[in-house]
Structure 1
Amino acid sequence: MEIWINPACSKCSSAVSLLDEAGAHYTVRRYLDEPPTAAELTGLLDRLALEPWDITRTGEPAAAGLGLAGWARDAATRTRWIDALAGHPELIQRPIITADDGTAVVARTPQAVRSILTTPPPGGPRADNSPT
């Protein structure tokens, strides 16, 4: 299991604490120091079953600088969004946990963190991956 964090983020600290309390084995990725590639983001989005705009922090100054508010949210602009996230990792929602079984979750709530620690029913989803 891997958790992508910004150490200055309280939600990231809370998620790490919950993983520790559960005795989970995980690695920490400080994604601002080790930004994901566009290919990694594409794979992550597939695991999350989300689109890039779903995990974009649109209130960040970089989002305003890029004019993200005016970008279309469709298949034709998907690559542009992914490239923006790869080039400006501060725009990526946090924390994100990727599990060894191929699932992933935007872990902004305790429930989302706990969902990645439990075994889902066969064929069932782990949790609502929607960022909050």
Structure 2
Amino acid sequence: MTKSDLRPHAYVLAVQDLAGSTAYFVDVLGFAREWNEGDNWQCVIRGQVRVMLGRCPDAMKPCDLGDHSYFGYLETDDVDTLHNEFASRGARIRTAPANKPWGRREMAVETPEGHRIMFAQRI
């Protein structure tokens, strides 16, 4: 690895409802709270994925961005098990797991504010 190589650290999302967004990531998507800065920031983590949620009450809603509201493409070893876990907790599943011609099995999920995440596994 060179000094200029990049490593994943965190996605940063503007959210209008910090408490509600944090609860969705923790209670529905299975993340854990990692750190927070008062009522302005909350970082959640699951595995090697961090999401930093920043309170921005006046920001444009992600649901107004349509397909541009996707922020992450996350790989897992078993997207069907993840689907079952999320569905049992009431996740907003946009598309159920399906095999794609590019060699991935994918599932799309969105947050209550409209941020979209793609979960995938190699097939």
Common topology (TM > 0.5): no
- Which structure's residues are more often helix, by fraction? 1
Q: Greater RCO between the two (CA within 8 Å, min separation 6)? A: 1
Q: Normalized against structure 1, the TM-score is what?
A: 0.29
Q: Normalized against structure 2, the TM-score is what?
A: 0.31
- Which structure's residues are more often strand, by fraction? 2
